[in-house]
Structure 1
């Protein structure tokens, strides 16, 4: 009898041992799974709209924590756009992997399945990722045709609010308040759109935590795009007397009409002409407030990851589709080639990514797509024109794969090249050329194109720009105006 009992105990111990071994094996398998990837995408957020990136006026503790916990690319650019809706081009580039003009060519041609197969989420699916999207879309391919799961799909910008334009005229102009829900905009539907997208993301993460598949999330907020609305408590964080006027402030940009960003452009009509310091301060106050509100939504998403034990095996990307002027150089919008409108924040947090590191190498924000493919083990297809940032982030690569940065607005309104700490801006319609020494003049305050000693630099940059045009499929013939430009 004792022998039987002893034998049963041995069997039980063997069973428990096997079970424990099985548990460890499963744990090992989970540890070795592909990492999750979350892409957090804001709208109209300049690199100057993050506290940890040099602006002490804006309150962004969550974004600051991303800077602290990961690697930040401090010189990240969008190429521009083919019309006033710069975000359309930016998002078409990031979803397709093509540069601006080739992205335009295919953006309206997503009817064929082979075109859909080449998009970012479809590529992620080939590596076993569950793909999810919620928020602003503004791409012609339908989200549910390329993502496994789709939350709320929001339009390019919140519904127009006529009361939000040409204001404030003076301190007596008090009709508009960012928290007034009767004006619609972000409040249309009853809940602020940033909160709506946040709740979608939190719900998906809670559900995904119960499953084994890795996930890729494309979370696109409309904020801080106008109308810059947020609850009153956020606006109250920014007393107007604490808001400074940008150093580059002027009442009106002298080349606005020439470059296609004049008084008729929607973005520019948000504030009165000529610009006043008071109007700029109010617009910046509201810009900061909606940014802080956005920051709190991102905080909830990241805390949900932590609560579910998923953060350690998740890469988080945060960037924006382009920047915004908000009173710099006499401009309100993003339809220009200045850094405040082309340059965005870009932070990467995740396994084996250095903490608190800042890299000043010039890159494009659309490099995020190629980086995600790299992380997930997908070989980058030849048609993708952007590059992975993983080696730069891990310190195994030190130089950018781009010798210069290309910028464009509309077919013939603006061209730009940034190279070797110089920026050349060209307005082809009037053959106006601007030149900035970015090392000595990072705020782009002093145009040095008229200095005779800079003619060699202008010629060199112009020739490089023509070469960039050929690489990007830009058909505008700048060579026809070459002699006039360099005189």
Structure 2
């Protein structure tokens, strides 16, 4: 055999061995890598799940997940640079970047660099799938392997869906959640939550026959308005069952200054807020959540049937909360817990069953958590933190402070059980002892005994603003300049 032939044979052997070794390594990686199912709600407050034991609401499948896994009780969203809070929340989630860095990110370039959450999962060997609400300016088709039934920021509202109900006669003559003629969630003939359920089932059935690990991103539009669901779900919540929030007000005293009484979300309910209007809006909110929970139950059943559930981590959360009558507000454009806190559930191998963790986190921590499960221990450029040390009991703290912002009108910080909300454009501060006043009803900012606490939190807030690159450089000056971006309409 010539030297050339020997060299060619050796090269062929090396190439074949390399391919064989790659396949062996890939099969081992796939065998060890868990599947990831991410279920995402829209406009769902932390209290709106039966497992939280705060509201009379039916979420049996989410409650079962809470029993099977761990519930984080204090999961927060950082806020928004736009009226559409979900745009900021979802951009942070899918880039892993904190609020002001996420706002400044060139998303097209980020996608070209394969830095989106789904793209990082692909690089780790995952097949990626997405259905439902996206609401990020970069097209999902450019970052997921499979995309189906992408939805807009919200189902289309109609004039009849606003400023309602004024009274019982107005309700009787007006808009009904189950009437398909108004479109919205009914556009296309099948309720959008049911479409997400169908899509999830279909993909899980396909994945059952494939050894490749999967990352499934199931994003419901529910319970965003228009809060439409089949009549049977609305009927589960007769108005005498629905309680008005303890901190309900006819009108928030700073509503115009913090977001504007003309903000789209705030126009859904009449001014002044009445007990009847709040009850009807909450009735429809609860019904849409219970209807979504039923679709989640279908997905869970399909996952169990697939034989994949024992090697799957499931995460459930929402992009932000919602007021629906709390503090005289309706939307999510405020810094109260009902609007910045969300439910957060984790189920999977090794996750403690029936456990709760009170440590404050950001909902976007789910992204680095899933990447660590996939094998990417320190993902470059990701600014949120994996939750695995908390889930494993290795850590009991996560962030020193939780920061929040909304445009140039609101800033927030929570630290050690206390919350400061500051409205820089009108120079108003609100101080709450969250441990003793979880409903945030007793403002202590003007109480002399708490002056030192107030100043400490103001200092911590300004420090956090500096660290995070907040475009508002000083609370005192209330200067705020931020470039206008697309998708700034409140949805």
Kindly state the Cα deviation for residue 481 of structure 1 after the two structures are TM-superposed: 4.3
C-alpha distance after superposition, 1:352-410 (max 9, x if no partner): 0000000000110000001000111113333111000012112222222x001000000
Q: Counterpart in 2 of 1:131? A: 128
- Cα distance between partner residues in 2 of 1:282 and 1:429: 33
Q: State the 1:440 CA deviation.
A: 1.1
The residue matched to 1:366 in structure 2 has which SS?
helix
1:157-236 pair list within 5 angstroms: 157-173=154-170, 174=172, 175-236=174-235
Deviations 1:277-336 (A, max 9, x none): 000000000000000000000000010010111111100000000000000000000000
Secondary structure of residue in 1 paired with 2:91: helix
Aligned to 1:364: 362
- Alignment check: 8 A CA contact 1:116 1:146 kept: no
* Alpha-carbon shift at residue 154 of structure 1 (Å): 0.3
* TM-score for both structures, normalised by structure 1: 0.91
Q: Deviations over 1:420-478 (max 9, x none)?
A: 11100100001001100111111100001001121111111111111101121102122
Using the TM superposition, give the Cα deviation of residue 114 of structure 1 relative to its aligned residue in structure 2, in angstroms. Answer: 5.7
Match of 2:11 in 1: none
The answer to whether residue 98 in structure 2 is matched with residue 102 in structure 1 is: no
Residues 110 and 116 in structure 1, CA contact (< 8 A), matched pair in contact too: no
Deviations 1:116-168 (A, max 9, x none): 51110000011100000000000011111010111110000001222110000
- Between the aligned partners of 1:30 and 1:145, the Cα distance in structure 2 is 25
| d(CA) in 2 for partners of 1:438, 1:293 | 32
Partners in 1 of 2:378 and 2:131 — Cα distance?
A: 25
The 2-side partners of 1:57 and 1:161 are apart by 29
Structure 1 counterpart of 2:253? 254
Match in the other structure for 2:269: 271
Instruction: Give the match for residue 19 of structure 1.
Output: none
The equivalent residue for 1:7 is: none
CA contact (8 A) 2:48 2:55 kept: no
Equivalences for residues 43-442 of structure 1 within 5 A? 43-106=42-105, 109-112=106-109, 115-173=112-170, 174=172, 175-260=174-259, 262-400=260-398, 402-410=399-407, 412-442=408-438
- Following superposition, the deviation at residue 480 of structure 1 comes to 3.5
Would you say the 8 A contact 1:404–1:418 is kept in 2?
yes
Contact residue 33 and residue 214 of structure 1 kept, 8 A: no
Conserved? CA contact 2:30–2:213, under 8 Å: no
Does the CA-based 8 Å contact 2:111-2:143 persist in structure 1?
no
SS class of match (1:298): helix
CA distance in 1, matches of 2:357, 2:231: 36
CA distance in 1, matches of 2:109, 2:76: 30
Instruction: Map residues 9-28 of structure 1 onto 2, 5 A cutoff.
Output: none
Contact 1:136 1:155 survives alignment (8 Å): yes
The answer as to 2:451 corresponding to 1:452 is no
Label 1:224 to 1:116 Cα distance change in 2 as closer, same or farther (>3 A): farther
Match of 1:241, SS state, is coil
1:474 aligns with 2:470: yes
Output the CA distance in 2 between the equivalents of 1:474 and 1:317.
30
* CA positional deviation for 1:30: 9.7
SS in 2 for 1:249: coil
Q: What is residue 465 of structure 1 aligned with on the other side? A: 461
Structure 2 regions of 5+ residues with no counterpart?
A: 1-23, 479-491
Deviations 1:159-200 (A, max 9, x none): 122211000010111211100000000000100000111111
Measured in 2, the distance between the counterparts of 1:372 and 1:381 equals: 11
By how many angstroms is 1:33 displaced? Answer: 3.1
- Partner of 2:47: helix, strand, or coil? coil
Indicate conservation of the 8 Å contact 1:116/1:122, yes or no. Answer: no
**Alpha-carbon distance change, 433 to 113 in structure 1, aligned in 2, over 3 angstroms:** closer
